[in-house]
Amino acid sequence: MKLIKTKISGYYYCENKNGITYYYSYKDKVSKLSKRKKIYKCKEHNNTNLKYAIDITEEVLKSDTIKTLLNENNSNVNEELNIDNFTLNEIQAIYAEKYYNRKYRELKELHAGMSEEDFNNDATIKKKLNQIKRYQLSYNKNVSNSSIGKMKYKDITKRKVSNWLETELNKNISTKTKYTIVAFLRATINSMKRNDYIVGDNVFEKINIQNDRRQRTRVLSPEELELLLKECKKYNKPRTELIYRKDSKKPPYKRVYPPNYAIYTSVYLAVITAARAGTILTIKKKDIDLKNGTITLINHKANNRVYKIPLNESAIKWFEKKLKFYEDNDYLLQPRTNEGKKRIGKNNALTFIPRQVYEIMNELFNKGINRNINLERDNMVNFHTLRRSIATNLALSGVSIYKIKKLLDHSNIDITEKYLNLGHLDYKENLTIFHNELFKNFETLLDKKEERPIISDLKQKLIKSILAISGTEEDEMAKLVLETLNEDELKKKLLEKI
């Protein structure tokens, strides 16, 4: 191939049967090696075609780099790639696709025995993949068309980001949303820096937006939980509803709804397991061990960590009746036909807790709450309130916080300590064991004969100091929690508070 030099340095062309092809020769800034890249094919060489080749050179080189990034299998390739000259939009698009592909591979490995067709049609897998795409949708909505999105990353400064946050970003979005957007951008750049695709500091690390963390304060009492279960159980039978016609003189008519067992089942499972909605939705028949009285759960928030909790006798009897209609690999919560029957030959889990559950909760507990006001919204009851309610009621019954941590499958005790919002409740000095029929399945967790240990003088001083620094001297529950720690753990906690 004979290359003919043009009047522009670095640009060559070669003649062939179909016309000519322009090439660009350059020295890579990172590897310091000379490279040549095919740029543009056309019928003849002239100033117009050459100018066009020059104009698209940067885009062609970027496109080639992106393909290499997305398809690279060799870690050594990292040393030759640098994308500081890319715009934030281009960097984010690379990160989003790499992140999506990685999560897709992880799901494929997790469901290795599933056929390609079943994998692509599984509703739960689709939901997880769509959740990943939600970050991209949020970026497209709030960042992609802004000045910061179209700017080359090397030109982005803290002042420019701050100005974008104050002037261009939608002023109507909440502080929490702003925090999430900046955290996503920070993660994007950090990911590229870890692979040496970007050199220099992460400018988004310098942006400090206080996360609008709020504590859900609403906890359902045992009586309220029982009321909720009774209301949900009504949907196990066909229901008749009177439908009024809009703008019509015709009389109302009756509509008969088939049973929807998923409503009661979802709430019942949440009560006996204290699990999250995502965990409840993926429980299968094979996860219930009636012989040993346990149920196996998956903590999707902790990389699909598996854990077990005990079942009481009434729960075992309930499962014995219900599981007769399921195969071993069937999900307990599945979509139904219009007649309320199980879909034969289909094994898809519900992707969301039935909306009727939230409608029942709103009718029972959320009347008069203004959802547009944060403080009021914190008092709303939702599906996650069940998990918090079970844990809080167990704590009030005298169950050790360490056992509650195990039940909730928290990674460390500090998460459980923050999770139990007990400050708004009245408790007595001597808490009695919480004997309610609703929570019989947790009987093995209760410390029925546990006596309060003798506290040494040093331990008392450490506890007093921690409570004083935290401003919780009057919080009896906090004191009880600290008394379960040894002296070394208390010293460590005191150092963290100082």
DSSP state letter for 237 = S
Residue range 30-37: mean pLDDT, rounded: 74
Ordered domains of the chain (ranges, CATH): 4-79 (no CATH), 83-206 (1.10.150), 222-444 (1.10.443.10), 451-497 (no CATH)
Share of the chain above pLDDT 90, in %: 22
pLDDT of residue 217: 76
User: Residue 347 pLDDT > 70, yes or no?
Assistant: no
What is the Cα–Cα distance from 284 to 261, expressed in whole angstroms?
15
What residues contact 321, with CB distance under 8 A and at least 6 apart? none
pLDDT of residue 262: 92
Q: Specify the range with the lowest mean pLDDT, choosing from 342-351, 386-395, 441-450.
A: 441-450
Residue range 85-111: mean pLDDT, rounded: 84
Residue range 65-82: mean pLDDT, rounded: 53
pLDDT of residue 66: 63
User: Residue 445 pLDDT > 50, yes or no?
Assistant: no
pLDDT of residue 135: 79
What is the Cα–Cα distance from 219 to 380, expressed in whole angstroms?
9
Residue range 262-284: mean pLDDT, rounded: 94
Q: Specify the range with the lowest mean pLDDT, choosing from 254-263, 345-354, 384-393.
A: 345-354
Residue 450 burial (10 A CB sphere; 0-12, 13-18, 19+): exposed
- What is the H or E stretch that residue 21 is in? strand 19-27
What residues contact 215, with CB distance under 8 A and at least 6 apart? 378, 421
Residue 263 burial (10 A CB sphere; 0-12, 13-18, 19+): buried
What is the Cα–Cα distance from 218 to 276, expressed in whole angstroms?
16
pLDDT of residue 374: 64
What is the Cα–Cα distance from 361 to 348, expressed in whole angstroms?
26
Integer CA distances (angstroms), 74 to 31, 78, 92, 337, in order:
16, 8, 22, 49
In which band, very low, low, confident or very high, does the pLDDT at 254 lie, cut at 50, 70 and 90? confident
Alpha helix locations (H) across 143-281?
147-150, 158-163, 175-194, 222-233, 261-273, 277-281
Best-predicted range by mean pLDDT (46-50, 231-235, 457-461): 231-235
- Asked if 30 and 79 touch (Cβ cutoff 8 Å), the reply is yes
- How far apart are the two ends of the chain, measured CA to CA in Å? 73
Output 167 or 308, whichever has higher pLDDT.
308
pLDDT of residue 327: 87
What pTM, to 2 d.p., does this model score? 0.60
Integer CA distances (angstroms), 10 to 16, 34, 262, in order:
20, 11, 68
Residue range 51-60: mean pLDDT, rounded: 84
Q: Specify the range with the lowest mean pLDDT, choosing from 65-74, 117-126, 140-149, 398-407.
A: 65-74
In which band, very low, low, confident or very high, does the pLDDT at 464 lie, cut at 50, 70 and 90? confident
User: Residue 98 pLDDT > 90, yes or no?
Assistant: no
